[in-house]
Amino acid sequence: MNWLYDFSYLTGGIHNSLSEHFEPSTVTLIEMILAGVAFMILFAILGLVLVYAERKVSAFFQQRLGPMRVGKWGTAQTLADVIKLLMKEPLMNKNADSFLFNLAPYIIMIAAFMAMAALPFAKGLHALDFDIGILYVSAVSSLGVIGILLAGWSSDNKYSLIGAMRSGAQIISYELSVGLSLLTIVVLTGSLQFSTIIESQANGWWIFKGHISAVIAFIIFLIASTAETNRGPFDLAEAESELTAGFHTEYSGLKFAFFFLAEFANMFIVSAIGATVFLGGWMPFHIGGWVGFNNIMDYIPPIFWFFGKVSFIIFLMMWFRWTFPRLRIDQLLTLEWKYLLPVNLMNILIMAFLALMGWHF
């Protein structure tokens, strides 16, 4: 059971056994393919689980039961949806720009994949440990907006175009808040590398160690990342009541499924970043000095800690979505530029002061 606590046993074992049979360059190639397949499987599982969770959670928030017919408690509902989506006819507008139209869903998926690659899932389970991890992830995750803009532009549909433009304005504005709220913690860690950030939380998570400043940064991160993933209450890009489905109005079948999957993957990615930076990633709940308590917490494997924290943040985001009414576009920009950004800048200043005086734990 050692590998469950430190995945480098497992990955190192695979690497050694491969090295015995192949040349180093072939080993690298095989390992890249293995990692890619693993991420694809993770994507598929995430899609299935998160869509089911979203439907169930939303149902319970609205005093409904949600899917109940397919399988016990409707657990096979998303599987049935996948089969339905695969069998649908891929439609396209007559005047649509077919190249860009087909390209858009892949750009969104690729952006999600690239961001996923740098996430630390557990001890030793980390595909790419960049020393600029946070910068890389926040840069790559904003590539998705290109896919959204292309989808809206090439669809030859006014609703798609309006949705895409709104989405562009929204993501570019809120990207600032996400980056600055992450910077608030980077001030404390002094590093952009995910593994260093997690190691620095071995004696307590930053949300507890960083005083009120870290809490404010966490709240701002939650709001801004909800907006960045185009989820309610910031889902103006696909506002059903005004724009039918926004930028993916004209998509059907598998390409629509890609947009759908990317939305949930992005939700997972931002939750994972939030969990890693503020809640300690795969680091168990530790309190500095309490050795016995820390040892008990260490019995829970890191991968469960990671997915537990991520699902907590995802649950919060679902709670937001099914409680708050959608913002108007001017309210959206007012919230970002007049409230979140100034508060964020003040917060960074306070945090820098705290870090300078060494007042954090």
Partner 1 sequence: MKSIIKYFKDIFSGLRSLVKGMAVTGHYFTHPKEIITQQYPENRDTLKMFERFRGEVVLLHDENNEHKCTGCSACEVACPNGTIEIIPKRIEVDGRKVKAIDQFVYHLQMCTMCGLCIPACPTDAIVMANTFEHAVFDRSKLTKILNKPGSKIMDGIK
Residues that bind partner 1 (CB under 8 A): 57, 59-65, 68, 319-320, 322-324, 339, 343
In this structure, what token pair is assigned to residue 74?
């409707």
Sequence-ordered list of residues with C-beta below 8 angstroms from that of 299, at least 6 positions apart, any chain? none
Is 225:336 a contact under the CB 8 Å cutoff? no
- Give least dist CB 347 to partner 1, A: 12
The distance of closest approach from Cβ of residue 56 to partner 1 in the complex, given in angstroms and rounded to an integer, is: 10
Q: Which is closer to partner 1, CB of 339 or CB of 359?
A: 339
Minimum CB–partner distance for residue 353 and partner 1 (Å): 20
Least spacing, CB of residue 302 vs partner 1, in Å = 28
Q: What is the 3-state secondary structure (H, E, C) of 53-65?
A: HHHHHHHHHCCCC
* Minimum CB distance to partner 1 smaller for 61 or for 99: 61
Tokens for 351, please give them.
């945090």
CB closer to partner 1, 138 vs 181: 181
d(CA 268, CA 4): 22
Give the ranges where the chain is alpha helix by DSSP (H): 2-5, 8-21, 24-61, 77-87, 98-117, 133-141, 144-154, 158-189, 194-199, 206-209, 211-228, 240-243, 253-278, 291-298, 302-321, 329-334, 341-357
Taking the least distance from each CB to partner 1, the nearer of 26 and 323 is 323
User: Closest approach of Cβ 65 to partner 1, in Å?
Assistant: 4
* Contact predicate 118/128, CB 8 Å: yes
> Residue 117 or residue 316: which is nearer to partner 1 going by CB?
316
Which pairing describes strands 120-122 and 125-126: parallel, antiparallel, or unpaired?
A: antiparallel
Cis check: omega of the bond before 233, within 30 degrees of 0: yes
- Helix, strand or coil, per DSSP, at residue 202: coil
**What is the nearest approach in angstroms of partner 1 to the Cβ of residue 23?**
55
CB-nearer residue toward partner 1: 22 or 312: 312
Nearer to partner 1 among residue 3 and residue 320 (C-beta): 320
Minimum distance, C-beta of residue 354 to partner 1, in the bound complex (Å): 21
